[in-house]
């Protein structure tokens, strides 16, 4: 085997894998079969991809598109190795996404790839930055956004900009209250969507419209706010405050706190103590 696969996150109907291939020009192209829908973002290297939809050269910034049950072949005649972030979706999962994209009708990708597109560049950068975080909740949202963007780009469907309905606003308000109540525990996008009787993709879209951020971003902001209040009011250890707020890893908490608050938790606490 010339490829190694590391699963980064998974959930019902989807999973994300970090795939590194070391094949070179001297290796015989290998043939495999897509088990589900695949949207693979190429992050380094080049390779030739041949499938039922056609043949394409994949380079960094491009997205490989695969349909379930389709045989495909990858070759490296022009260089050695590549690395991809591979997002996989079951047919039923993808069908719900397509149903939520206005103008999209077909449940198959007709082209073998998407070239590097400006609309996809921010998603690719976000995916690469998250590759070593192994945060299931954040990858769940990112997987939906990448699948939706791929469907829009591949189908040529023009996104319809319409304001959220009162019903959608009510759904988001209910989800916000749920996050506020249970923010220190596991809160998944799919669970929030189920509680509002919407598909995860539709729920993610309307939440961003109404709240100005994704559900996961709102969850993280809620946890950081609570941690900041505890840092001001208590002498508890920073690690205890982080874990009680819902963070499972102290280094992740420190990094996120500094990004949002502009300083480390310890500096933030020391600054508040000096003002008392």
Give the Cα separation of 79 and 45 in Å (integer). Answer: 8
Give the Cα separation of 114 and 120 in Å (integer). Answer: 9
Q: Which two tokens stand for residue 198?
A: 């919407």
pTM recorded for the entire structure: 0.78
Q: How high is the pLDDT of residue 160?
A: 54
Q: How high is the pLDDT of residue 274?
A: 54
Torsion-angle region of 135 (φ positive above 0: left; ψ -120 to 50: alpha; else: beta): beta
Closest to 51 (Cα-Cα) out of 21, 36, 73, 29: 73
pLDDT tier at 185, thresholds 50, 70, 90: confident
Share of the chain above pLDDT 90, in %: 33
pLDDT tier at 265, thresholds 50, 70, 90: very high
Would strands 82-89 and 113-114 be described as parallel, antiparallel, or unpaired?
unpaired
> Would you give the DSSP letter of residue 234?
-
């Amino acid at each position: 085997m010339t490829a190694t696969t590391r699963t980064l996150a998974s959930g019902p109907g989807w999973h994300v894998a970090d795939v590194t291939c070391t094949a070179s020009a001297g290796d015989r192209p290998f043939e495999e079969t897509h088990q589900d829908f695949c949207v693979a973002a190429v992050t380094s290297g080049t390779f030739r991809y041949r499938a039922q939809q056609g043949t394409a050269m994949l380079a960094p910034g491009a997205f490989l598109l695969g349909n379930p049950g389709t045989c495909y072949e990858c070759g490296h005649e022009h260089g050695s190795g590549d690395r991809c972030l591979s997002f996989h979706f079951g047919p039923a999962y993808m069908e719900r996404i397509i149903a939520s994209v206005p103008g999209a009708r077909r449940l198959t990708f007709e082209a073998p790839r998407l070239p590097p597109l400006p609309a996809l560049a921010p998603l690719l950068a976000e995916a690469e930055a998250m590759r070593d975080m192994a945060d299931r909740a954040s990858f769940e949202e990112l997987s939906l956004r990448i699948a939706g963007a791929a469907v829009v780009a591949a189908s040529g469907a023009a996104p319809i900009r319409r304001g959220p309905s009162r019903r959608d606003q009510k759904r988001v308000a209910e989800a916000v209250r749920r996050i506020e109540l249970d923010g220190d525990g596991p809160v998944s996008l799919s669970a929030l969507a189920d509680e509002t009787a919407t598909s995860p993709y539709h729920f993610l879209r309307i939440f961003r419209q109404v709240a100005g951020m994704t559900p996961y971003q709102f969850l993280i902001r809620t946890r950081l706010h609570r941690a900041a209040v505890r840092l001001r009011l208590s002498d508890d250890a920073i690690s205890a405050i982080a874990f009680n707020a819902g963070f499972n890893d102290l280094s992740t908490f420190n990094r996120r706190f500094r990004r949002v608050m502009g300083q480390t938790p310890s500096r933030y606490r020391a600054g508040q103590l000096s003002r008392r």
